[in-house]
Amino acid sequence: MTDDPAIFARAADEPAALPPVLPSAASAHADADRLLLLEAVFHHCPTAIMITDRASRIVAVNPGFERLTGFSADEALGRTPALLKSGRHDAGFYRGMWQTLLDQGAWQGEIWDRRKDGTLYPKWLSITALRTGPDRQISHFVAAFNDLTVSKLAEERIRALAYHDPLTGLPNRLLLHDRLRCALANARRGRGTLAVLFLDLDHFKYVNDSLGHAVGDRLLAEIARRLKDCVREVDTVARVGGDEFVIVLENLHERADAVAIVNKIHAAFAPPIDIDGRELHASASLGIALYPEDGDDAETLMRNADTAMYQAKAAGRDTYQFFAPFMNEHVRERLDLENTLRHALERGEFELHYQPIVDLRNDLVVGAEALIRWRRRGDALVAPDRFIPIAEETGFIVEIGDWVMRRACQDYVAWRAQGIAPQRLSINVSPRQFRQPGFAGRIRAILRDSGVEAPELELEVTESALMQQPELAARILGELKAMGVGIAIDDFGTGYSSLAYLKIFPIDKLKIDRSFVRDILSDNSDREITQAVIALSHNLGLNVVAEGVENDGQLDFLRAHGCDCVQGYYHARPMPAPDYAEYARRRRVA
């Protein structure tokens, strides 16, 4: 109960008779039943109870005391509470405790004690000063206490779960922010520099997709270990997302200190990671923000380091970038788009809209072009020209393209079952997707799985996709053509516009870009180009589709010059699949 028996001297010097622990003999004889009840409560109470006289001598303990401390009653009686001394509290702690006890008559709180076997344990202790006799002087002290070991362990476990990542054992985002704020406070006081490194693994999703999440988790755990080996004890490595880590480097002297750590990290990533006999290679892109030049609070530094990391991704990955002022709001918006785009597919944020293609000779709907739309985080649609280039640069367009292909084929099969499917389903293919190894094989598999016949599918490829590697393009188009898939050149006239490829590539259709159709009634050059494309296409046995038709004048001009088909707002805007189905029911479909 105390490590300082002298505290009791104050009470011992006061003149007072020492009454017995239990009620007086007169009272006991008067109420023997009450005595027996109190004695039974004392001995059967599971809480440890210890009673001392005012000179700090133990005069009574219950079986709960014996069980908790390991000391028997015979070993404890006559000794002082110093018997339980833990050594973890200084004299000032006890002076404060006993000052409160003597002034207020009670004290309670958490304290550490020692058992007979030498083990330390935390307990919750309540002490009450008993005042008896006519002068109401302190005669005894009653201490009751419980072991807090189990609850402490549970508390520590909860704290660990709340502040640490269960997979890697690293601090999580919550603890990271606390440590970063402390590091910033130290840097401000010492006028020092610190760095925040935002690290994102390159192509980690491919590991999860191809090898499974169990392998991905083991890879993350090993990467966490290597990162910890790259920094000092004063630094913090935290896991803040699936494959995202943040490192806080304190007490830096100059920018080069951060670069040295980054180089050490890249070197640590070089050796392959062995998982069940399989060697995996990992790389990372890092962004660096420095205090105080890149921000003076945790949120700003984290945001700027994240922005710099995406700049490193855009620079080719497996590198690092310092945050710089030129990364303005436009750049950050672009990087934020890339970040959310990477998760849009798994969140189900993409949807397909369809725009009908109408035959000018009979006004029948002969095709439907599938156009992807992104409803970012449930908000308004993001324009395709904002996110498609990003997806193309990052390579995510391949996954998006496969999703578009499968989803569009599913919709087409559903329309066919209702008798409203057009002759052809048109789907755009990005340059990167087109050049992906095994592209034709994936198309074959999608057709087989969906039930769409090859002649019912038409792929739209841009001129640039074909002309970057003409020999490869010719081979891929040949494979697709052999399957029976239709081929259309999209946005004709806006790319290389080389007429030679029209003879060497197996093309079925040309699509005149909307930029020519828009001013066809007012611009002589646009009119002449449009007429020439229509004539050339027919001479080569190709069909022609004009995009972006919006009014009667454009429609009449195109019909007069033999254009085969049109699409645009004149007939219908792109619409979700259910709306397109309703549209097709009202229109004649070929």
pLDDT digits 0-9 by tens, 210-240 = 688 899 999 999 999 999 999 999 999 999 9
pLDDT > 70: percent of the chain: 90
Statement: 164-327 belongs to CATH 3.90.1150.10: no
d(CA 536, CA 502): 10
Contact 201, 286 (CB under 8 A): no
Contact 513, 494 (CB under 8 A): yes
Q: Is the pLDDT of residue 22 over 50?
A: no
For residues 130-153, average pLDDT? 86
Q: Is the pLDDT of residue 498 over 60?
A: no
Which of 20, 43, 115 has the alpha carbon at shortest distance from 75? 115
Q: Print burial letters for 312-333: b (CB count within 10 Å at least 16), e (below 16).
A: bbbeebebbbbbeeebeeeebe
Q: What is the pLDDT of residue 389?
A: 83
Kindly state the DSSP code that residue 384 receives in the 8-state scheme.
H
User: Please, which pLDDT band fits residue 260 given cuts at 50, 70 and 90?
Assistant: very high
Contact 71, 48 (CB under 8 A): no
**Angle in degrees, CA 13, 19, 24, rounded to 5:** 170
Would you state the structure tokens that stand for residue 101, as one six-digit string?
């006890």
Q: Is the pLDDT of residue 189 over 70?
A: yes
d(CA 359, CA 368): 12
d(CA 576, CA 573): 10
- 7-153 with 344-586: one CATH topology? no
Would you state the structure tokens that stand for residue 141, as one six-digit string?
């002290």
Would you state the structure tokens that stand for residue 3, as one six-digit string?
């490590």
Q: Which range among 106-115, 230-239, 264-273, 326-335 shows the weakest confidence by mean pLDDT? A: 326-335
Q: Which range among 375-389, 403-417, 488-502, 512-526 shows the weakest confidence by mean pLDDT? A: 488-502
Contact 279, 211 (CB under 8 A): no
User: Please, which pLDDT band fits residue 298 given cuts at 50, 70 and 90?
Assistant: very high
Q: Is the pLDDT of residue 5 over 70?
A: no
Domain ranges of the chain: 7-153, 164-327, 344-586
Contact 99, 70 (CB under 8 A): no
The counts of H helices and E strands in the chain are: 24, 22
pTM above threshold 0.75: no
Query: Tens digit of pLDDT for each residue in 419-467?
Result: 999 999 999 999 889 988 899 999 999 999 999 999 999 999 988 778 7
Query: Tens digit of pLDDT for each residue in 317-357?
Result: 899 999 987 665 666 677 788 888 888 998 999 999 999 99
Contact 124, 146 (CB under 8 A): yes
Q: What is the pLDDT of residue 332?
A: 66
Q: What is the pLDDT of residue 408?
A: 97
Q: What is the pLDDT of residue 283?
A: 92
- Give the β-pairing of 350-359 and 575-576: antiparallel
Q: Is the peptide bond before 272 cis (omega within 30 degrees of 0)?
A: no
Q: Is the pLDDT of residue 10 over 60?
A: no
d(CA 567, CA 429): 18
Q: Which of residues 372 and 137 earns the better pLDDT score?
A: 372
Q: What is the pLDDT of residue 545?
A: 96
Mean pLDDT estimate for the chain: 87
Would you state the structure tokens that stand for residue 37, as one six-digit string?
């009840």
Specify the fold of 7-153. Beta-Lactamase (3.30.450)
217-221 contacts, C-beta under 8 A, 24 or more apart: 217/167, 218/275, 219/273, 219/275, 219/280, 219/282, 220/167, 220/168, 221/167, 221/168
Q: What is the pLDDT of residue 8?
A: 38
d(CA 406, CA 445): 10
Q: Is the pLDDT of residue 53 over 60?
A: yes
**Angle in degrees, CA 184, 188, 193, rounded to 5:** 70
What is the CATH number that goes with domain 344-586?
3.20.20.450
Q: What is the pLDDT of residue 148?
A: 86
User: Please, which pLDDT band fits residue 28 given cuts at 50, 70 and 90?
Assistant: very low
User: Please, which pLDDT band fits residue 378 given cuts at 50, 70 and 90?
Assistant: confident
